[in-house]
Amino acid sequence: MKSGTLYIVATPIGNLEDITFRAVRVLREVDLIAAEDTRHSRKLLSHFGISRPLTSYFDHNKEFKGSYLLDRLAEGASVALISDAGTPCISDPGYQLVRDAVAAGITVVPIPGPSAAITALSGSGLPTGRFTFEGFLPNRQGKRRERLAQLRDEPGVLIFYESPNRLVAALADMAEILGDRQAVVARELTKIYEEFVRGTLSQVAERFREGKVRGEVVLLVAPAAEQGQPEAPAVSSLLRELLAAGDISLKDAVLRVALETGLPRGEVYDEALRVKAALKDV
C-alpha cells in the first residue's frame, strides 16, 4: 500500500485574507487535519467552508498523537498539519512529526504562507540580508540574560517572540546585555491594531511601560555590526586597496570587505562599483 502525504499548511496570523488558494484546496482535500487547538481551528475551517475530520496535535500529546498520525499516513491517508497561526513547526509543535515521517519514507509537502517572524522583519526597516530567529527566550531572567549574552556578537538581526507580560523586562535585559541598539516591536501583525514601535531598546521599553501590552509580539534587534560600523571612507579605502592590486575579482573583494566590516554585502557592493568606476578614471 502506498503511504499518504503529510502537508505542512501555513494559516493566517490574524487577517483571514492571508490564507492561500492552495492552502484552502489542500485543507478541503485531505483525509484528516491535525491542529494545535481544534476549537480555534474549527473557526478558521468554518470560515472557508471546510469540513474535514479534525484531531488535536500539540506539545503535551505529540508522542501519542504523532504515532497515530504516522499510522494513518502509513495506511495511505493524507494529513494536513496546522498550528493556531502561521507556519507549523516554527516555534510551534510539529518538527518531530515531520522528522518521523521523513524517516518512515512518507512524503512531506510544505504549503507556504504567513510567518510572524518574516512578516515583522519585512516591515521593520532593519537590515534583512541576515538574521537569527531565536523564538521565545527563557522565562526566567537569569537564563534569559545568559542566552542574550551568547547572542551578543551575532552579525544579523535578532528576531524573538515574546509574551506581552515579559516584554518590558526582556527589553531592559537586552539593553543591558546587548547594548542600547535599535529595535522594533511588531505587535498584532495583520490585525486591526497592527503596530510597529521603533527606537533604541531603552526607548521602546519606556514606550511600553506606559500601559499594559496587548496582543502577539515579535521583537527585532539590530545586528551587532550596526554598533560602531565603519564609515564609508574606511570601506572605500579597503575596497580601493583590494581592487587597485588587480589580483582579486569585484565579487571576492566585496565578500572580503563585508566579512571584515560586518556591513551588508549589498551596501559594500554599491560602494565597490563607485570605487571601481573611480579607479578607471584615474
Q: Read out DSSP for the chain?
A: ----EEEEE-B-SS-GGGS-HHHHHHHHH-SEEEES-HHHHHHHHHHTT----EEE--TTTHHHHHHHHHHHHHTT--EEEE-SSBSTTSSSTTHHHHHHHHHTT-EEEEE----HHHHHHHTT-S--SSEEEEEEPPSSHHHHHHHHHHTTT-SSEEEEEE-GGGHHHHHHHHHHHH-S-EEEEEESTTSTT-EEEEEEHHHHHHHHHTS---S-EEEEE--GGGTTPPPHHHHHHHHHHHHHHSSS-HHHHHHHHHHHH---HHHHHHHHHHHHHHHHH-
Q: What is the pLDDT of residue 228?
A: 47
- pLDDT category of residue 230 using cuts at 50, 70 and 90: very low
Q: Where is pLDDT greater, at 87 or 155?
A: 87
> What gap in Å lies between CA 170 and CA 127, rounded to an integer?
22
pLDDT band for position 282 (cuts 50, 70, 90): low
Q: What pLDDT band is residue 255 in, cutting at 50, 70 and 90?
A: confident
For residue 124, pLDDT beyond 50: yes
Give mean pLDDT, residues 143-164.
94
Looking at residue 253, what is its pLDDT?
86
Q: Are 181 and 117 in contact (CB under 8 A)?
A: no
Query: Is the pLDDT at 229 greater than 90, yes or no?
Result: no
Phi first, then psi, for residue 216 (nearest 5°) are: -75, 140
At 63-85, the pLDDT tens digits run 999 999 999 999 999 999 999 99
What band does 97 get if pLDDT is binned at 50, 70 and 90? very high
Higher-scoring residue by pLDDT: 112, 255: 112
Task: Give pLDDT tens digits for 189-207.
Answer: 999 999 999 999 999 999 9
Please state, rounded to an integer, the average pLDDT across all residues of the chain: 91
d(CA 205, CA 133): 21
Name the band, by pLDDT with cuts 50, 70 and 90, for residue 232: low
Residue 222: band (very low, low, confident or very high) from pLDDT cuts 50, 70, 90:
very high
Confidence of residue 226 (pLDDT cuts 50, 70, 90): very low
The more confident residue out of 270 and 40 is: 40
Per-residue pLDDT at 134 = 96
- pLDDT (0 to 100) of residue 268: 83
pTM of the model: 0.77
